[in-house]
Structure 1
Amino acid sequence: MPPAADAQHVRVAVTSLGAITAQGPTVADLWEGTRRGHVAIRPVRHLPMDGYRTRLAGEVAEPPKPDVDVGYPAGWRDRALDFLLTAAQEVLAAAPAVREAVAPERFGIVVGTCNAGLISGEHWYRARMAGEPADPRLALFVPPQALAEALAGAYDVRGPVLSIDTACAAGANAIGYAADLIRLGLADAVLTGGTDALSGVLVAGFNSLESLSPEPAAPYSRDRLGLSLGEGSGMLLLVRADLTRALGLPTLAEVAGYGLSADGYHATAPHPEGKGAARAIRAALRSAGVRPEEVRYVNSHGTGTSKNDPAETKATKLGLGDAVKGALLSSTKSMIGHLLGAAGAVEGIVTVKALEEQLAPPTANFTEPDGECDLDYVPNVARPLEMSVAISNNFAFGGANATIVLTRRRTEPPPAPDLDRVVVTGLSALTAAGAGLDGLWASFAEGRSYADSDRLCRADVDVNDFLPAKQRRRMDRLGMFAVIATRLALADAALPIVDGNRERVGVIFGTGIGPMESMERFARPLFEEGPRAANPAVFPNTVYNAAGGQVAMHLGAVGPASTVTTGHAASAGALIYARDLVAGDRADAMVAVGADTLTDTVAEAYRGLGVLSPGSGFALAEAGVAVVLERLGHATARGARTYGELLGYGIASDGRGAGRWDPAGGGMERAITMALDRAGLAAASVGGVWSSAAGLRSADEAESAAIRRVFGEHAKVYAPKLLLGEPMGAGGALNAVLAAMSLRRGHSTGPALITSSSLGGTHVAILLKEI
């Protein structure tokens, strides 16, 4: 399913902006404070700060209370979601014509975050520890996808609704992916950005790493002492540029391109030579068709830590080459702190404003130069600058890097990519049926059920068989499952990772509930004993992309890297994201890996929501599943065996809000129809549907109704999760593995349709056929 030829020249405009930060509740506040070099890092008021290296952060002074019903439990609010809603309100209020002109089905959302609904989760977990009642609906607002789906419900958005959690690179990654959705014809307008809020868990974690500065952060200065944390949200409205012109709306800037990469080096520290970050910069410039000498301003990651600042300086030099001498750099974090998943979005907004006003904002708190940081960082005072191209860099835990290219009044369009078809060449699955593909197929074919008396299906995998103790010393089970599944899938594809190809092989990790095992291991002692109990060895694994980072570190695949967190549809989201990166020549091969693991706390949260009970037919599972996707030309050249071609996909949302879906299956029907249309197939040609059904009656009936409307009453439907359990974010990839095996083994003929749904009404449909 290569995108239509004309889609490659679609330009993506930034039409309006919204932000809430320590500078104030609007974009105007953010820009005015930033351009003046005003430092809004001050003593924190809403959290106890005893026992930490600092009492300072970029705190939002007045917590917002958006007048939007998102289904909060009575008397409860989550700061991260409230920040997101506040920034989104400002964006949409500034461009009402877009909402009027673009149908809800053509409107999308991509939200980046690091901690998501951590505050809601903490409230629920503390009550559980104390033996007190807590509203089970709090658990709905914990995962990243809940933020995106709550926003979709608030504004009736029914196009692609997605969440990205590449930690501190998430906001930039979200903006880049949102632009892709428009270029690929999946949406006409996308509301995108990021959000995160300060919490005791967050502060304790960074404090345990000894990375917090007792004074406001002073990036690039010789006497810098560390980073300052911050909170807030930044949101941008991206619109197809021709539509913006037709509506008479301003184009503040264009998202010309973006780049992703993995360091594959360390869980928290950047590669000291900046090699991974430099690859993201170069990839972004290539995708935008921008020459290094055109880049006049760089909004740097600029945290103020001893390792990050020199590494980023080297990365910028490698990424821009000699042209770096003509560029100005500055760190927005020096004024508002590090907003984690919101950082890339807010700093992207500052970059848009810099282009608009032809002004390079300063790096505040700058004292004296550091010999290792020898570029022009615009010390303390903004500087006029003629520019049409700027970039914004964000680099994260787990070695995930993202760079976005923003332009203003630049006439050259981004180049058309070298498109190719995408084939499946490798599979793996760690499930209750074991770690072998033959055992998985036998379990499905024989109708074996694996649920225990508690309706749980634990993966039957001995990690000792795959990872020696030394390798897994700093890994949780989620990371182990991701590494093992990826290794097995690459072996199945006969695709070794070597020096000659590692930069052209990437990993998209999909997870629905994320690192709950590590989060509990880190948080419980903290809640019981206070900050001194914070474990710096565990904290890096509490970010959602940690497992993807482990894959890059252990296996050496350092091409494009991201983590998608689309609830129970996360691995399906990873598949389609990986597919587009391969098709567009950003990689020769991508591994889409989905994983989620069970803990007693996870099971209790599902029970509280009423979906895990002995009579429900629904069982909760854990799994690690991986699929290798390759460009057809690359696979053919190396003589690879293929399972089939990934033809096309569709994605749609019900727009009902967190934990809600359309009982009539409207969103799923649109996703299926879109997949068929984009693949150029008639419904009658589909040989079988690999259904998302998992025993949750109301959700299963909604999907079944959608399938009947598209295929009629006699469609061949397979429902493997009724046997193997619902492996949360790994379910879509599990269905894809079984569908591919079915085609290979002659069990089914004709294209296979794979469906996957979150429990918040986000639906993905993927078509796979023999080749």
Structure 2
Amino acid sequence: MHENHSAPHRRIVITSLGAITAHGVGAEELWQRVRGGEVAIAPLRELAIPGLPMAIGGEILDPPRPKYDYLTPLGLTDPEPAVDYALIAAEEAMAGAGLGVLEDGAPPRPDALPAHRWGVAFGSCNSGIRSAEKAVRRAVAAGRAVDVAELGLGDDRHLLLVPPQFCAEALSAAFGLKGPVLSVNTACASSAHALAHAVEQIRAGRADAMLVGGSDALTETAYYGFNSVESLSSRPARPYSRDRDGLSLGAGAGMMVLVAAEVAAAAGAPIVAEVLGYGMSADGYHATAPHPQGAGAARAIRSAIDTAGLAPEDIPYINGHGTGTPKNDAAESNAVRAALGEAAQQVVLSSTKSMVGHLLGAAGAVEAIVAILGLRDQMAPPTAGYAERDPACGLDPAPNEARELSMRVAASNNFAFGGANACVVYGRPGTARPAPEPAPADEIVVTGIGVLMGAAADVDQLWAAWSGSTTEAEQHKGLRLARVTTDPGAEIPAKSRRRMDRLGQLAVATSQQALAAAGLTAHDTVGVVVGTGVGPMSSISRFFEPTVTGGPTQGSPAIFPNTVFNAAAGQVAMVLGAKGPTSTLTSGHAAGAAALGTAYDLLRAGRAEAVLCTGADELSPYALDAYRGAGLFTGRHGRDYLLAEGSITLVLERAAVARDRGVTPLAMLAGYATTCDALGIARWDPRGHGIERAMRAALAEAGVDPAELTAVWTAASGLPTVDGPERRAVDRLGLNPNCARHEPKRVLGDPVGAGAQLAAALAVTAWQHGAEPGPVLINGSSLGGTHTSFVLRHPSAALTRS
């Protein structure tokens, strides 16, 4: 049962659930209070929001400490609540999974899987931003100037807890899970997207079980932000009700264990539900407001139903996004009507947010848990606080009281800033349904490249910089930096450019380049997947800093939409019209590689015809303080390290689509794999065994023997603690003596989330400049030991296979 095999329609079951919310610790506690209509939204008691003394929310009071200690190894003392909540919910889920984790070398057991067959998919909106907020306030208390251009946070190591990937890697380390580890940040759809990506990992045979979910804490940034766009209510939210006037924020986490059905059956694991289908889309409409007719959301709902092999009349219950804001609730109701047609008049559409608040990135997981337990008990949970029917909504919200409801399946909606939509359909154990038509198997090819990095404004200039082995660097408080010297907004329409931060401009500019190079016009079946390691830290600081001294009225509603990690992907969708599946991966320095893998999976599953896959990061003051505080990038340890800014986009297409357009591919993406060392935040296996597993698995998926490789494009960046293990792992592959080893980051700088795209762009261009036309291997690694390797084949291989 442990064989690694691809099965596009492999059944995926859920064996256990875990939760912590304002209703307490435990999934069952959450369900019993929700089905009883109990509202846990109240005036805040432990979190102070200066300037908003009457703030309310679904606050978690006196939470327990998780068993896993992630602070001591880092020399830290102040816990990050988002990490704590994720670990607490995961403890419950793993304890009830009915499936153990075998350590390396342990004898096989029917009720356990080897550690490398277990993975993690974690979603969050704000991740560790609470730690950044506290660092800023400590700086103020210490009398240091807090300025957007020069933050003065010093070497506060608690900034290490801010990146989303570190929470994912803490989960991996806490339970010894060494398979794929993904960090997903699509704002309020994050954990729903994490579940979708986990499904594809299991179906592709890269894992047999995945710990999946999301976590978010209450933060000053969220309160000030939603206050700035006038979305907060002064009373508990009243979704779908005529008198609704805004949302209520909440804190918490939801985690679940997804397992291949045949693996769960062999282990005798409990089965609480089955994942029947999912759908993803982009609105491409507005940074914060949904399409008023719910067009994008309707596409996600229809996709989820279709891939589940169901008809609209098969859906009796939907756990709605239901935020309580006038526009969102009306748009969602319109989306449900558009997706279900006449069957919408019989569906129950209720909102869990009316009781625990809006949990942002954790909403998808927590609301899925409620839907799943509703399926178990044949009970539609209520919408609390509902007062009067609103014709603009008009569907049945199960007002104020739970209702017995016979149902085999239930759906859960989650929609986010940037127009990122998701819907997941769950079934009771053993739900019988006709199998959907399989998507036609197809190879995935690269058809266009766009580049902005250092002084290079296109792929030819990038090649010239690489060939000349020269990059201009500036010195900045012990760090060596290479910034983009070209104005990324120069070719973006002024009206669109005004709404973007620098990260968004970088992503849009290179996506425009790549589309033009591919001869492609974006449309409803072109997706967007962005990988960013640092994210929109300049927008977060520009938004938060003025509120520290000036209060909530200084929070800019123009800046707030750009504080979510998926804002750049949303801008690409809006400006260029790419309205297919969209997602944002935040796997640190492996983010671009994770994005390529996710785009590959979406295309192989038939979810899109083409995907704009971007790796992008900017050098913001917050990010630079975090790099200095880590101590790895300055002094003697980092004397050879060059931190770069940049964005690189690859257009990935299904080969048949490219062939029908008459386009000659630049390369074929033949396979990939992701693994984790599972040693904790900012720790690598010094032996390089994790990255070796990633390389060997990618080669196996691509059907390439190590001796066939003509080049390896490594993740080496001048950091001995990470470069050494990779070098040792590559040595063990058994390469042909003529196989070249390239270290592009050592020459051009480390562009954080764009590292894999950098290597891919150079590998493709090398073929065009006479390099041997054989397969090449590309590595991307996070600083916490998550590794993604993928194989590119020469375009002649793609043409032959077509």
Q: What TM-score range do you get, normalising by the shorter chain?
A: over 0.9
1:404-458 deviation per Cα after TM superposition (whole angstroms, max 9, x unaligned): 1101131236533222111100001100132111110011112113322341000
2:728 aligned to which of 705, 720, 725: 705
Residue of structure 2 in register with 1:250 after alignment:
270
1:410-489 → structure 2 map (5 Å cutoff): 410-412=431-433, 414-415=435-436, 416-454=438-476, 455-489=480-514
Residue of structure 1 in register with 2:24 after alignment:
24
Name the aligned partner's letter for residue 653 of structure 2: E
Name the aligned partner's letter for residue 455 of structure 2: A
Correspondence 1:619 to 2:656: no
Cα distance in 1 between the residues matched to 2:733 and 2:6: 28
Residue of structure 1 in register with 2:540 after alignment:
519
- DSSP-derived class of the 1:9 partner: coil
Question: 1:134: Cα distance to partner?
Answer: 6.7
Residue of structure 2 in register with 1:117 after alignment:
128
CA contact (8 A) 2:71 2:79 kept: no
Cα distance in 2 between the residues matched to 1:531 and 1:98: 48
Residue of structure 2 in register with 1:43 after alignment:
43
Correspondence 1:323 to 2:343: yes
CA contact (8 A) 1:24 1:30 kept: yes
- DSSP-derived class of the 2:732 partner: helix
Cα distance in 2 between the residues matched to 1:433 and 1:320: 51
1:186-265 → structure 2 map (5 Å cutoff): 186-265=206-285
1:318-360 deviation per Cα after TM superposition (whole angstroms, max 9, x unaligned): 1112221221111000000000000000001011101111110
Deviates more, 1:714-723 or 1:125-134: 125-134
Cα distance in 2 between the residues matched to 1:413 and 1:451: 59
CA contact (8 A) 1:508 1:564 kept: yes
Question: 1:468: Cα distance to partner?
Answer: 4.2
Question: 1:29: Cα distance to partner?
Answer: 1.1
- DSSP-derived class of the 1:323 partner: helix
Residue of structure 1 in register with 2:678 after alignment:
655
Cα distance in 1 between the residues matched to 2:417 and 2:507: 17
Instruction: Label 1:122 to 1:344 Cα distance change in 2 as closer, same or farther (>3 A).
Output: same
Residue of structure 2 in register with 1:94 after alignment:
96
Correspondence 1:290 to 2:290: no
2:411 aligned to which of 373, 379, 391: 391
Name the aligned partner's letter for residue 697 of structure 1: P
CA contact (8 A) 1:257 1:414 kept: no
Deviates more, 1:756-765 or 1:288-297: 288-297
CA contact (8 A) 1:124 1:134 kept: no
Cα distance in 1 between the residues matched to 2:548 and 2:391: 42
Name the aligned partner's letter for residue 333 of structure 2: T
Name the aligned partner's letter for residue 8 of structure 1: P
Cα distance in 1 between the residues matched to 2:549 and 2:55: 21
Correspondence 1:80 to 2:82: yes
Correspondence 1:752 to 2:776: yes
Residue of structure 1 in register with 2:333 after alignment:
313
TM-score scaled by structure 1?
Answer: 0.97
Residue of structure 1 in register with 2:800 after alignment:
none
Instruction: Label 1:53 to 1:255 Cα distance change in 2 as closer, same or farther (>3 A).
Output: farther
Name the aligned partner's letter for residue 539 of structure 1: F
Deviates more, 1:45-54 or 1:206-215: 45-54
Cα distance in 2 between the residues matched to 1:108 and 1:463: 37
Name the aligned partner's letter for residue 370 of structure 2: V
CA contact (8 A) 2:121 2:213 kept: yes
Cα distance in 2 between the residues matched to 1:314 and 1:745: 53
Name the aligned partner's letter for residue 86 of structure 1: I
Cα distance in 1 between the residues matched to 2:262 and 2:622: 49
Question: 1:53: Cα distance to partner?
Answer: 8.7
Residue of structure 2 in register with 1:737 after alignment:
761
CA contact (8 A) 1:54 1:212 kept: no
Question: 1:638: Cα distance to partner?
Answer: 0.6
1:404 aligned to which of 414, 419, 424: 424
Residue of structure 1 in register with 2:147 after alignment:
none
1:231-255 deviation per Cα after TM superposition (whole angstroms, max 9, x unaligned): 0000001111111111222211111
1:116-155 → structure 2 map (5 Å cutoff): 116-129=127-140, 130-131=143-144, 136-155=156-175
Q: Percent identity?
A: 49
Name the aligned partner's letter for residue 685 of structure 1: E
1:764 aligned to which of 775, 788, 801: 788
Question: 1:96: Cα distance to partner?
Answer: 4.7
Instruction: Label 1:614 to 1:433 Cα distance change in 2 as closer, same or farther (>3 A).
Output: farther
Question: 1:133: Cα distance to partner?
Answer: 7.7
Instruction: Label 1:545 to 1:367 Cα distance change in 2 as closer, same or farther (>3 A).
Output: same
CA contact (8 A) 1:509 1:548 kept: yes
Correspondence 1:366 to 2:395: no
Question: 1:394: Cα distance to partner?
Answer: 0.3
CA contact (8 A) 1:9 1:413 kept: no
- How many pairs does the alignment contain? 765
Cα distance in 1 between the residues matched to 2:435 and 2:79: 42
5+ unaligned residues in a row in structure 1: which ranges? none
- DSSP-derived class of the 1:465 partner: coil
Cα distance in 2 between the residues matched to 1:464 and 1:174: 31
Cα distance in 1 between the residues matched to 2:126 and 2:225: 12
Name the aligned partner's letter for residue 110 of structure 1: A
Name the aligned partner's letter for residue 652 of structure 1: T
Cα distance in 2 between the residues matched to 1:6 and 1:667: 21
Deviates more, 1:245-254 or 1:562-571: 245-254
Correspondence 1:168 to 2:156: no
1:589-623 deviation per Cα after TM superposition (whole angstroms, max 9, x unaligned): 00101110012332222122123326520011110
Name the aligned partner's letter for residue 561 of structure 2: P
- DSSP-derived class of the 2:496 partner: coil
CA contact (8 A) 1:423 1:631 kept: yes
Question: 1:627: Cα distance to partner?
Answer: 0.3
CA contact (8 A) 1:450 1:723 kept: no
